[in-house]
């Protein structure tokens, strides 16, 4: 069966060696596609100065994530578990080798209608019960409880199984202004998360509002030359009403 990884954050662009080696060894990067998924900036990350990172939301407006096929196909539970473990190690490099989750996040699986009828989905559920705990929208059985993603302008994604990491967000959704302010009120480079997401096609419906708040506040880091390309994209969208 064909397996793909649904990415909605820094796993796609973070240059740290573990993530870079995971992408190069496990994924077919030149076959990545943009897909519609329900995502918001909702997790307040201590490792990023309490700025916000992306989460899935069970019910919410659709944003844009990136779906990347795995190099290896899956024929049994061991294959699927191996992809999940490698994904989690890319997410948390200091995790135990057989881990697929922690208190703040976990790997979830989304099965197509055909693959859901296979014994593989039941085996995944049993493995998840023994190895992890649910983080919404991953349910108690390890299934990612969102709609099957559509490729932008091209119908449903073709994968048979999709793996993704869900992370625990705040119980109350922060406003776009609060999300922006968390980046504005720091000078440690954590705003990179927003700019790199936009650059790599990971988008939320609130990006325009976040950008307007940042632009108005004029933080010192906004003059960084590396942000000019993304700033131009966001400005073009603002002028066109996107």
Clarify whether residues 223 and 124 are in a common domain: no
Task: Give the pLDDT mean for 156-166.
Answer: 95
Q: 80-92 burial by CB neighbour count: b if 16+ within 10 A, else e?
A: bbbbbbbbbbbbe
Q: How far is CA 221 from the centre of its chain?
A: 25
Task: Give the pLDDT mean for 30-52.
Answer: 96
Clarify whether residues 69 and 186 are in a common domain: no
Task: Output the six-digit token pair for 173.
Answer: 């959704």
By three-state DSSP, how is residue 190 classified? Answer: coil
Clarify whether residues 20 and 116 are in a common domain: yes
Calpha distance 38→118 (Å, rounded): 26
Clarify whether residues 163 and 181 are in a common domain: no
Counted domains in the chain: 2
Contacts 24+ apart (CB under 8 A), 9-12: 9/53, 9/54, 9/193, 9/197, 9/202, 10/53, 10/193, 10/196, 10/197, 11/90, 11/91, 11/165, 12/66, 12/68, 12/200, 12/202
Domain that holds residue 66: 3-167
> What digits encode the pLDDT tens for the residues 96-142?
999 999 999 999 999 998 787 789 999 999 999 999 999 999 999 99
The rounded percent of the chain whose pLDDT value lies above 70 is 100
Q: What pLDDT score was predicted for residue 114?
A: 78
By three-state DSSP, how is residue 212 classified? Answer: helix
Clarify whether residues 135 and 158 are in a common domain: yes
Clarify whether residues 71 and 28 are in a common domain: yes
Clarify whether residues 111 and 211 are in a common domain: no
pTM of the complete model: 0.96
Calpha distance 117→218 (Å, rounded): 53
The whole-chain average pLDDT of the chain stands at: 95
Which of 112, 136, 167 delimits the end of a domain?
167
Task: Output the six-digit token pair for 203.
Answer: 């988008």
In this predicted model, which residue has the larger pLDDT, 58 or 175?
175
Q: What pLDDT score was predicted for residue 242?
A: 64
């Amino acid at each position: 069966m064909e397996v793909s990884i649904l990415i909605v954050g820094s796993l796609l662009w973070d240059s740290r060696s573990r993530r870079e080696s995971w992408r190069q060894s496990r994924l077919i990067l030149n076959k990545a596609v943009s897909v519609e998924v329900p995502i918001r900036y909702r997790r307040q990350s201590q490792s990023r100065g309490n700025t916000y990172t992306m989460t899935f939301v069970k019910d919410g407006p659709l944003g844009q994530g990136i779906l990347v096929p795995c190099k290896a196909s899956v024929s049994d539970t061991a294959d699927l578990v191996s992809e999940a473990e490698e994904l989690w190690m890319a997410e948390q490099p200091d995790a135990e080798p057989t881990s697929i989750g922690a208190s703040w996040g976990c790997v979830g699986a989304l099965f197509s209608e055909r693959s859901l009828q296979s014994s593989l989905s039941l085996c995944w559920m049993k493995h998840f019960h023994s190895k992890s705990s649910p983080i919404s929208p991953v349910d108690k059985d390890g299934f990612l409880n969102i709609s099957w993603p559509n490729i932008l302008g091209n119908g449903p994604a073709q994968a048979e199984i999709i793996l993704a990491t869900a992370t625990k967000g705040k119980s109350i959704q922060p406003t776009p202004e609060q999300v922006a302010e968390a980046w504005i009120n720091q000078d440690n480079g954590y705003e990179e998360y927003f700019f790199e997401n936009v650059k790599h096609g990971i988008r939320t419906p609130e990006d325009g509002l976040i950008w307007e708040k940042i632009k108005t506040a004029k933080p010192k880091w906004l003059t960084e030359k590396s942000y000019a390309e993304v700033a131009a994209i966001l400005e073009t969208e603002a002028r066109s009403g996107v």
